[in-house]
Amino acid sequence: MSAHPLVEIKGLKVYFPLAHGEVVRAVDGVDLRIHAGEAVGLVGESGSGKSTLARALLRLLPLTAGEVWFDGRPLHRLPEREMRPLRAQMQIVFQDPMASLNPRMRVGAILAEPLEVHRIARGRQAWEQAGRLLERVGLSREHLHRYPHEFSGGQRQRICIARAIATQPRLLVADEPTSALDLSIRAQIHRLLRELQEELNMAILFVTHDLHAVRQVCSRVEVMYLGKIVECAPVQRLFTEPAHPYTRTLLDAVLEPMPSQARRPRRLPTGDAPTATRVPTGCRFHTRCPIAQERCREEEPELREVGKGHRAACFYPLSGGTG
Ligand SMILES: Nc1ncnc2c1ncn2[C@@H]1O[C@H](COP(=O)(O)OP(=O)(O)OP(=O)(O)O)[C@@H](O)[C@H]1O
Ligand SMILES: [Mg+2]
């Protein structure tokens, strides 16, 4: 791992002012690093700010505050003209492949486009390269002449991935890339992402609700709650020794106990579910936390080390020491 990270986010805030004076604090002070070639998962409930963070990192959204560094360059203050060449190095794949493929373009033309835009190849050569990209993602050269509607959902997502890797990006952001796909197809796409990450030494920021998917694709996980990172850890460690009570409840929801076991999954208290317009004081999770103390209502915990490569923003972490 090189000393300076591929991506370094510092104190990032992305706020959306609403018409009636309220403000959505979608991303509310995030620090995050991604090293070259590293696959990082970003998990959290719906509305926690994952997509906003991912888009802000690619500068697809204006930043309210903070810094985003990519390969040592300050994206937060680059003019768009200087962003353009960098865009080839950072690509994104979205949840709905049909919505991100032009239905009137043949697959060959769809794949040739980024090659031409970024002046990597033109004409026949671009088409040739497009064929190789298709083969690389598990499709075939004959598919160059077909239209997006002629493919299944999984195949379409492969096309989107092929388009994203056309420019050999150093960072791929995948925002729920398999959430819309059948369960049986998901694992195949996850395997493909993992292979590409290794072969191309490409970093991945993999945004998902699906903790199992994270295990298939990533080596490290960041857990987000109401605009903040509340825990980050190597994947295995997060599963076996979660330190933040929020992570614990996320895990309990997916790691169903055996029917014979007495232990029942803990459910998150539903009552007073806060939103990004009404972020609780102190620890923002305290209103739903099963072990919250007085201190949690008053003070906001910072991320701190609870183990090797493992940090949690909790005064009373479940593993790795006490508050
Ligand atoms: N353009 C916008 N204007 C106002 N509020 C927004 C906008 N985009 C996102 N939000 C709000 O910001 C918060 C974070 O949204 P975001 O889409 O980043 O969450 P997410 O973690 O990606 O959720 P999901 O898992 O459902 O995709 C939510 O409260 C959302 O309603
Ligand atoms: Mg999202």
> 250: domain CATH number?
3.40.50.300
**Does one domain contain both 239 and 280?**
yes
pLDDT tier, 272 (very low <50, low <70, confident <90, very high otherwise): low
Q: Is pLDDT at 162 greater than 50 in this prediction?
A: yes
Cα 100 to averaged position of ligand 1 atoms, centre (Å): 19
**Does one domain contain both 45 and 174?**
yes
What is the bridge-based pairing of β-strands 220-225 and 39-43? parallel
Residue 46 Cβ < 6 Å to ligand 1: yes
**Does one domain contain both 260 and 284?**
yes
CA-based nearest residue to 213, from 238, 178, 248: 178
Residue 51 Cβ < 6 Å to ligand 1: yes
Give the tens place of pLDDT for each residue, 44-100. 999 999 999 999 999 999 999 999 999 999 999 999 999 999 999 999 999 998 899
Domain boundary among 168, 189, 218: 168
Give the tens place of pLDDT for each residue, 172-195. 999 999 999 999 999 999 999 999
**Does one domain contain both 104 and 236?**
no
Reported in sequence order, the residue ranges of 37-183 that DSSP labels E, i.e. its strands, are 39-43, 65-70, 73-74, 90-93, 171-175
Domain count, the chain: 2
Q: Between 319 and 222, where is the model more confident?
A: 222
pLDDT tier, 274 (very low <50, low <70, confident <90, very high otherwise): confident
Residues that place a CB less than 5 A from ion ligand 2 = 51
Q: Using DSSP, how many helices (H) and how many strands (E) does the chain show?
A: 11, 12
In a domain, 318, yes or no: no
Residue 276 Cβ < 6 Å to ligand 1: yes
The pTM of the full predicted model, rounded to 2 decimals, is: 0.94
**Does one domain contain both 185 and 258?**
yes
pLDDT tier, 273 (very low <50, low <70, confident <90, very high otherwise): confident
pLDDT tier, 263 (very low <50, low <70, confident <90, very high otherwise): very low
**Does one domain contain both 192 and 251?**
yes
pLDDT at 223: 98
Domain boundary among 151, 168, 185: 168
Instruction: Please state the rounded mean pLDDT for residues 305-309.
Output: 96
In a domain, 322, yes or no: no
- Mutating to test ligand 1, I would choose from 24, 27, 210, 226 the residue with most ligand atoms within 8 A of its C-beta, which is 24
In a domain, 183, yes or no: yes
Tokens of 147: 């239209």
**Does one domain contain both 106 and 237?**
no
**Does one domain contain both 143 and 125?**
yes
pLDDT at 267: 55
d(CA 217, CA 172): 12
In a domain, 321, yes or no: no
Proportion of the chain above pLDDT 90, given as a percent: 85
In a domain, 34, yes or no: yes
pLDDT tier, 319 (very low <50, low <70, confident <90, very high otherwise): confident
> Which backbone phi and psi does 53 adopt, to 5 degrees?
-60, -45
> Which backbone phi and psi does 235 adopt, to 5 degrees?
-50, -55
Domain boundary among 116, 140, 168: 168
Cα 189 to averaged position of ligand 1 atoms, centre (Å): 25
Answer for the pair 181, 153: CB distance below 8 angstroms, yes or no: yes
pLDDT tier, 279 (very low <50, low <70, confident <90, very high otherwise): very high
pLDDT tier, 254 (very low <50, low <70, confident <90, very high otherwise): confident
What DSSP letter does each residue of 259-291 carry, written as one string? TT-S--PPPPP-TT--BTTBPPSSSTTTTT-TT
**Does one domain contain both 78 and 114?**
no
In a domain, 2, yes or no: no
Residue type at position 207: V
From the CA of 175, which ligand is nearest?
2
Tokens of 31: 């620090």
In a domain, 323, yes or no: no
Residue type at position 65: A
pLDDT at 270: 52
The residue segments making up the domain with residue 20 are 7-89+169-312
3-state helix, strand, coil in the chain (%, to 5): 35, 25, 40
pLDDT at 253: 84
Give the tens place of pLDDT for each residue, 203-244. 999 999 889 999 999 999 999 999 999 999 999 999 999 999
In a domain, 184, yes or no: yes
Q: Is pLDDT at 258 greater than 50 in this prediction?
A: no
pLDDT at 204: 98
CA-based nearest residue to 225, from 243, 255, 250, 206: 250
**Does one domain contain both 301 and 219?**
yes
pLDDT at 119: 94
**Does one domain contain both 181 and 219?**
yes
**Does one domain contain both 221 and 286?**
yes
